[in-house]
Amino acid sequence: MKKEKKTDKTSKSKKVKDKDKHNQKNILNSIKNKKNTIIIFTIIVIIVVTIMVLIKILLLPSLNYNKANDYLANKNYIKAIKLFENTKDYKDSKAKIKQAYYEYGISLIEEKKYEDAITILKKADGKNLNKYISYANAMINFNEKKFNTALSTFKELKNFKDSDDYVNYCNIMLAEEKYKSGNLADAKKMFEDLDKNLEFDGIKVLNRLETLEKYKDYVKLCGTWSGTNGKFSVRQTHDSTGLWDQWDNDYVAELKLSCIINEDGTVTLKGDAKYYIYTNYSSLSKYLKAPQKSLTINKTVTSIPNEIASGNNVKLTYSGGKFSLVYDYKDSNSSMNFTYRYKSSITYNTRKDN
């Protein structure tokens, strides 16, 4: 009986061992399978990454480059520039970027967006690039009514785009400025230098010349006039004895006059006449005060008057093609024993040609 029990124990032990071996084998197989899975996954990842890198390196630049060229051909410059920037190391993308900026800048000029055009063209490269930038600058100055500055640039751009036309437009606008400000003599000269059939912004050269001929007397009147024979004095007279003492001096001065032709046919005279006077008396010349004074001219007329302006003991008249100014002031109140007489006169008889 004892011998049978030992056999049972041995058999049971063997079964346990076989079971452990089987479990270990399963574990080993599981580990092996996991390793195989990891290896396969890693290989797949490497293959995918490799394919993606190859696409990015070889295929994507080509696709973007071709798409950018399509955008450029269809004048979608912003998108074209962006794609060329992304592939700037591919083929001639760097040159294409400058080309896109060039075409974009020119298109902005055509749209009259001159400031934006200059910004874009500074990043570009192309034929007559500097001329396009200069043209845009000239148009900015023209639109800001800086006609002299614009004129200078348009002259330098001779035969480029419509620069020659804008030379004429600048000249007609400069002449119009003189006309509107009442500098009729200058305006007449400038309009006479232009094509009689020229018209811009509602201004017709022929019409202006006809108007200036109608107002030719005012054309002769306005401008800057000089006077070289000015004299001014101060006299002190003793009230009781009549004895007097006097200081005299000579001077030169100018008169400036503009004649603004109004829509109702009247003309507004505007300007000022300079002259000198003594404002005090002293027995010593170094204590005399002799400031320059100005008589303001502002008068609307239907014909040229004899009296152009007056005020504060001074009068300006026009006759015989020249202006005459007379100042006369008598002071009987500032002294108990003396009367003072202040005088000044000048004839402005020479008109300056600008």
pLDDT of residue 57: 53
The pLDDT of residue 48 is above 70: no
The pLDDT of residue 315 is above 70: yes
The pLDDT of residue 64 is above 80: yes
Lowest-pLDDT choice from 20-24, 34-38, 139-143, 191-195: 20-24
| φ and ψ of 144, to 5 deg | -90, 10
Domain boundaries, the chain: 147-214, 224-352
Lowest-pLDDT choice from 15-24, 120-129, 163-172, 273-282: 15-24
For the stretch 107-132, pLDDT in tens is 999 999 999 999 999 999 999 999 99
The pLDDT of residue 94 is above 70: yes
pLDDT top residue among 137 and 8: 137
pLDDT top residue among 62 and 13: 62
Residues facing residue 311 across a β-bridge: 314
For the stretch 247-272, pLDDT in tens is 999 999 999 999 999 999 999 999 99
List the one residue out of 102, 83, 79 whose CA is nearest residue 93: 83
The pLDDT of residue 46 is above 80: no
Q: What's the pLDDT band for 321 if we cut at 50, 70, 90?
A: very high
- Cα separation, 132 vs 135, whole angstroms: 5
What is the pTM (predicted TM-score) of this model? Answer: 0.78
List the one residue out of 186, 275, 171, 260 whose CA is nearest residue 224: 186
Whole-angstrom distance between the N-terminal and C-terminal Cα of the chain? 150
Q: Is 326 exposed, middle or buried (0-12, 13-18, 19+ CB in 10 A)?
A: middle
The stretch 79-108 carries a mean pLDDT of 93
The stretch 229-244 carries a mean pLDDT of 97
- Which range among 18-27, 31-40, 60-69, 335-344 has the greatest average pLDDT? 335-344
For the stretch 11-41, pLDDT in tens is 656 655 556 666 666 666 666 667 777 777 7
pLDDT top residue among 74 and 7: 74
- Cα separation, 172 vs 203, whole angstroms: 8
The pLDDT of residue 171 is above 60: yes
The pLDDT of residue 214 is above 70: yes
CA atoms within 13 A on the CB side of 314: 24
pLDDT of residue 22: 61
The pLDDT of residue 185 is above 90: yes
